[in-house]
Structure 1
């Protein structure tokens, strides 16, 4: 942990708690809004980001969601990632990034699963996504190394779906935010003070009490704890997600899409002859945000049998690397929680992304910045993600969670 720093000022218009992908995206978009000239502080407890969900992400993007809003968010994300100079420039330093479009391939082995894929594909196609439904015979023709005997249907999109360099996007969010005047400090918010139905200040671990106009909870897996400091509750907590990089004696004949098996295990191309495998235990409890212990049994008991059954070439593999990351998991409906709390209108949520925060950060950061500056949305309407739905018991369910 880095040595904590004290802020340069005692008052800020916006304090963002958490400086990883979503917090930095919000900070960046604030600097791009001509209607905003305020002072912004980003408080990050671990500026190395060693254990941030951003750093442990598999860094993929997809349009195959079950809700229209998530599709539109991802479509903007793909546009943003592939044209940083337009959105962040003019600046000759900005890289020209591309999405490695190996695509996502969802597999269904039950009629209920197939019906979900049909419903999702119809909606995605209406919004301009390139998703195709594939019969088992068609899957086998395109990907002859996949075992299809138990399958009923697949859905595949290879346009604006696949790997992108999320860490480079993150680095540029932070760099551009700083260059735009945002102040980042290594510190930790230890208390949130309320008065008259608003947040009026935050207390830092170094002892300072910082006055603020608005607060953004972008604390990732610690978002529930930050909300509790403000006297609020959200059903968001860390859940472990396991990743392995493997190699095979004989590489597959073509790039492997991010293939979502009915078992819940997923696998995709990584390098030329390496593959990334991901999954979680059947018992999937909330965990402590500092718990990154590997469960070595899960590979032998669940993951390897699943991938070897689906792709027989994976019967003989070598594990090169493995790690544990966390989802900031929303138990209510597995979708983001954004917007203000009705009891505390200057406390803004940016939590509970359940594994798709990295790819949604361009659109979500832009939306939160719009809300902070204008009190409403100017681009995509994110009100379906507001916490009002939780209070009313009205889920906005995302069915395509990996």
Structure 2
């Protein structure tokens, strides 16, 4: 059994963990210190990042979520400024087609309030009543809608795996170490995390431990004796073709919870279980076509008449790390273990939030506090107080 020592050990090398490693390695005030990322599968075949829908939006109802994604959009649009290695920037294939949140008459006042906050913070979107929406997007069925909010810039989708690899490649180029192994223990002494034990038998001493383990983050927290209300939930993405070409389609969020968007020459879609419906903890990746046939296809055809004639062509499953309190991230230290940092529970928003969250976790470690954005509202203390941060725009 061998032992090594690092200033920071990051558990999980997906997009969040690799973003943390990048920002640490790039920070001048961290120079001369060492960061290690422990990733259980360096092929990332089952990683949540690569199995996501790859979306970024500012259309949230919570100030901090909007600010996080505004920075994320600037990061993605100018990714070469941060992540280029030897002059080569990651090819993210960012499609800036926008998000379209649709609302019924009942949901319209909420959409209006969200729109006002988003605009006040610098988001670029337009609130469109149903007639204006129909004029702009004639392929869309709007008879049951009051209207929608359409992102005009800084929203869309990208290649999630390319962003992950971009963070990882740059972090390594700046001196971060990666090891393929599984954390099986977190050592705690005198109110501090002191290191981790790996499945290989190696022990790693650490000045800081960052939990970025995605759908397995609850297990990592338990190793440190901490309770984390974050659960792994399976989410499925279905791929289909349509005979009718539909131009300039954004990512559409239906009031039913159904979403769809273009993907190459075809389209993808999905839906999360409604509140009260079965949504068990799961690390399973098997695809069940029942939701597509019974829920998604009828919903697609009702919203886009051209989608009555479609052909399913594929599907995949991935995992959300769902914060059971409020579907918002859990960020920062546990009050009883101040050098054990959470970066967990993104509930499907991890990809778009990774640039700002990685930077913020770096600031906690290096500068002893949030600097660029105050994300303290997402701290662990709200869990102890049972005070959820309400986010109305959960997808």
TM-score normalised by the chain length of structure 1: 0.94
Once the two structures are TM-superposed, the CA of residue 94 in structure 1 deviates from its matched residue by 1.8
Q: Which residue of 2 aligns with 1:362?
A: 355
Task: State the 1:32 CA deviation.
Answer: 1.1
Q: Distance in 1 between matches of 2:48 and 2:92?
A: 22
Which residue pairs with 2:138 in the alignment?
A: 144
Q: What is the aligned partner in structure 1 of residue 54 from structure 2?
A: 59
Counterpart CA distance in 1 for 2:66 and 2:35 is 30
Give the corresponding residue for 1:160.
154
- Relative to structure 1, is the Cα distance of residues 48 and 61 closer, same or farther in structure 2, using a 3 angstrom cutoff? same
CA distance in 2, matches of 1:55, 1:94: 19
1:21-40 equivalent positions in 2, closer than 5 A? 21-36=15-30, 37-40=32-35
* C-alpha displacement of 1:169: 1.9
Residues in 2 aligned to 1:99 and 1:284: alpha-carbon distance in whole angstroms? 34
Distance 1:155 1:284, change over 3 A: farther
Structure 2 residues without counterparts, runs of 5 or longer: none
Residue aligning to 1:277: 269
Out of 294, 311, 317, the position equivalent to 1:301 is 294
Match of 2:124 in 1: 130
Cα contact 1:265–1:303 (8 A) shared by 2:
yes
CA distance in 2, matches of 1:316, 1:95: 37
- Gap change, CA 1:305 and 1:359, over 3 Å in 2: same
- Note the C-alpha offset of 1:90: 7.5
After superposition, the C-alpha distances for 1:327-384 in whole angstroms (9 at most, x for unaligned) are 1011101111010000000100000000010011011101101111111122111111
Structure 1 residues without counterparts, runs of 5 or longer = 1-5
Distance in 2, matches of 1:195 and 1:181, equals 29
Q: 1:345 matched to which residue of 2?
A: 338
Among 311, 318, 331, the alignment partner of 1:318 is 311
Deviation per CA, 1:248-304, whole angstroms, max 9, x where unpaired?
A: 11112x221111111111011222x41111113443423232x11222211111111
Q: Is the 8 A contact 2:25 2:174 kept in 1?
A: yes
Over 3 Å counting, the alpha-carbon distance change for 1:46 and 1:98 in structure 2 is closer
User: Which residue pairs with 1:3 in the alignment?
Assistant: none
Matches within 5 A, 1:38-117: 38-89=33-84, 91-95=86-90, 99-111=94-106, 113-117=107-111
Query: What is the distance in 2 between the residues matched to 1:225 and 1:95?
Result: 32
Are the aligned partners of 1:82 and 1:98 in contact in 2 as well (CA < 8 Å)?
A: no
Q: Give the alignment partner of residue 373 of structure 1, picking from 343, 349, 366.
A: 366
| Separation of aligned partners in 2, 1:158 and 1:327 | 27
Native 8 Å contact 2:54 2:158 kept in 1 = yes
Kept in 1, the 8 Å contact 2:83–2:90? The answer is no
Q: CA deviation at 1:71?
A: 0.9
Equivalent residues in 2 for 1:218-257 (5 A)?
Answer: 218-252=212-246, 254-257=247-250
Q: Does 1:393 align with 2:372?
A: no
Asked if 2 retains the 8 angstrom alpha-carbon contact of 1:85 and 1:91, the reply is no
Residue 151 of structure 1: CA displacement? 0.8
User: What is the number of residues matched between the two proteins?
Assistant: 392
User: Given the two structures, how large is their TM-score scaled by the length of structure 2?
Assistant: 0.96
In the TM superposition, residue 11 of structure 1 has moved relative to its aligned partner by 1.0
